[in-house]
Structure 1
Amino acid sequence: MPPLTAREVYQSLRDAALGLRPLKRLEEQPEAGPVHVDIEGWRLTLDVDGVHLRHCLNCQSPDGRVFDGGQRYGTDPVGLLSTWELAQVERLLAAG
C-alpha cells in the first residue's frame, strides 16, 4: 500500500477548515504538544504550540495508509494550508 501524500493529508485538513468535515479532538491535550484529532476516520497527530498549528507529525487514512511527517522529507501538509485555512483549523483545535 503506498504511503499518504502531503496533498492527501492537506485535503482532509482543508475540508475541516471549510466545514465540509468535522474535526474532533480525541482527548484533552495540554496547551502545547501533540494533539490527536479525527476527521471522518482520518487520524492525525498535529504539533501545536499554544494555539498555533506547527506541522503534521503523522496521519492514518481510513484505508490504513500512513503519512509519517517525522520520517519523511518534503512538504508538510500544514504548509499547504492557506493563511485563512490555517486560522480556521487553529480555531477548531481551540474549540476542542
Structure 2
Amino acid sequence: MSVQPLTAREAYQVLRDIALGFRTMRRLGTKSWPDIYCGQMTVEANGWVVTFYNDCATLDYCDSCYSPDGRAYIFDSMQRYGTDPVELLSTWEHAQLEKLLSAV
C-alpha cells in the first residue's frame, strides 16, 4: 500500500495556517532567514516539516512539505505554474509568511 503524496493545495493550507497564526512554527537548524539570504530554511509547525527557499531575502518557493502522517509535497521545477504552494498564497499571506520566517 503506497502513501499518496501531498497536493500543492494541501501544502498551501499549512502555509496559509502559519501566515494566519493558526499554526506556530519553529526553525529547524542554526541559521535564521536573514543569515541564509540565498538557500533553504526548514521549519516545523504542529508536526508538519516545511522547507522554504530563500532567494536574496525573499520567499521564493516551498521546496518540500512533510505531513505528520508521512505524506510529502516535493518541489519540481518542471511542474506547471500554480503547483507551488507559495504561488497559491495571497499577496498578504505571502508577506506575512516572509515576516514570520524572518522572526523565527
May I ask how many residue pairs the two structures share in their alignment? 96
Query: Where does structure 2 lack aligned partners over 5 or more consecutive residues?
Result: none
Give the structure 2 partner of residue 60 of structure 1: 66
Query: Where does structure 1 lack aligned partners over 5 or more consecutive residues?
Result: none
TM-score, normalised to structure 1, is 0.92
> Residue 79 of structure 1 aligns to which amino acid in structure 2?
E
Task: Say yes or no: does 1:37 pair with 2:43.
Answer: yes
Give the structure 2 partner of residue 91 of structure 1: 99
Shift of 1:72: 6.4
Shift of 1:34: 0.4
Deviations 1:27-67 (A, max 9, x none): 13222210101111111111012331100111110000011
When structure 1 is superposed on structure 2, of 46-55 and 23-32 the one drifting more is: 23-32
TM-score, normalised to structure 2, is 0.85
Q: 1:28 to 1:3 in 2, by over 3 A?
A: same
Q: CA RMSD in A?
A: 1.4
- Please give the residue correspondences for 1:1-96 in structure 2 after superposition, counting only pairs within 5 Å: 1-29=3-31, 30-70=36-76, 73-74=79-80, 75-96=83-104
> 1 CA distance for matches of 2:43 and 2:78?
20
When structure 1 is superposed on structure 2, of 4-13 and 47-56 the one drifting more is: 47-56
> 2 CA distance for matches of 1:58 and 1:49?
16
> 2 CA distance for matches of 1:20 and 1:51?
24
> 1 CA distance for matches of 2:79 and 2:5?
13
Give the share of equivalent positions with the same residue, in percent: 49
Structure of higher CA gyration radius: 2
Q: 1:38 to 1:67 in 2, by over 3 A?
A: same
Shift of 1:12: 0.5
